[in-house]
Amino acid sequence: MLILSQKQVEKIIPLKKIKDVVTAVEEAFFEYGMGRVQMPPKNYLDFKKYEGDLRIMPSFAQKLEMAGTKIVNVHPKNPKKGLKTVMAVIILNDAETGLPLAFMDGTYITGMRTAAAAAVATKYLARKNAKSLGVIGAGYQSIFQIAAITKVRKIKEIFVYDVLESQVEKLAKILAKEGIKIKKASLEEAAKKDIIVTVTPARKPILKNKLVLPGTHINAMGADGPGKEELDPKILKRAKIIIDDWHQAICCGEVNVPLAKGIIQKKDIWASLGEVITGKKIGRKNDNEITIFDSTGLAVQDLFTANLVYKKAKKLGKELKLF
């Protein structure tokens, strides 16, 4: 069994190669949209005492002839200094024999594949002439979001807002090493862009309806548990809503609170991203539509990304001193 640390995974798919992950995740959504993936709902272990949880995420793809299981935590207020909010491990199994093929760190993969999903959604839902990006939240995930979205649209300006200005400054230094420039912005400035990414742990809406312009595409990435929401529900009423998975979105996505309160109904959700990619549903119809991608994070994204890492690791094994 191949065992890969986070540093090794980072060498195999560095940030500058995130386009490879975007391609893999697009394929994952296509296969899921075609019904060729098994993916039970996430199982949650709720650690209320510690304000965190553990999630078990299995999936199987016929095309890969492989299964993958991710175990991932979410601790927004992690008490241990130096530990991230999200950490994960992934195991891959051969479908024919059940043989464990690889055990790898999944923290970096989670960052990459989450951003890749937003990039895929942006590719299919944002206006073709979208040139500006506003990011609300400047944490670890924002590094990947910006890197991925700039691979699918020719972004000329990137504005980032965070309640902690020091986070934006830190993010700017990291992205500068990748040749990407960002600007510190107010919430209002970040919201009035062609593409918006919300990537916060908010439990009350932070993006207000009045700030969102016609034709905007929004990647709502932060809501991944019951009670979480980042968007003013009035935005959902104006927009075409695309989810990643029906069960997870209704339970834990951006739509979960508005649905529970009766502000929107299930019929107000237009499609899944897989349906759009496979052509079963039309994405954006015109340049005035507001589109929202409600992302909860799918196990199949992890599977296809981990498979990419595994295949590259087998080719680069000696060079990376993996064996």
Find the domain containing 192 and state its range.
120-297
- Please tell me the pTM assigned to this model: 0.95
Same domain, 186 and 228: yes
Same domain, 40 and 79: yes
CB 190 within 8 A of CB 135: yes
Mean pLDDT in residue range 245-257: 95
In the chain, count of helices (H) and strands (E)?
Answer: 11, 15
Question: Is residue 311, in this structure, part of any structural domain at all?
Answer: yes
Distance CA 223, CA 242 (A): 14
Mean pLDDT in residue range 230-235: 98
pLDDT of residue 224: 84
List the CATH number of the domain containing 125.
3.40.50.720
> What ranges in 34-125 are assigned the alpha helix state H?
107-125
HSE of 243, CA atoms in CB hemisphere, 13 A: 22
322 band by pLDDT with thresholds 50, 70 and 90: low
pLDDT in tens, 109-168: 999 999 999 999 999 999 999 999 999 999 999 999 999 999 999 999 999 999 999 999
pLDDT in tens, 272-299: 999 999 999 999 999 999 999 999 999 9
Helices 299-320 and 107-125: angle between axes, nearest 10 degrees:
120
Q: For residue 70, indicate whether it is catalytic.
A: yes
pLDDT in tens, 39-88: 998 899 999 899 899 999 999 999 999 999 999 998 988 888 788 888 99
List the CATH number of the domain containing 58.
3.30.1780.10
Same domain, 73 and 221: no
> What's the total number of domains in the chain?
2
Catalytic position from the list 11, 17, 42, 70: 70
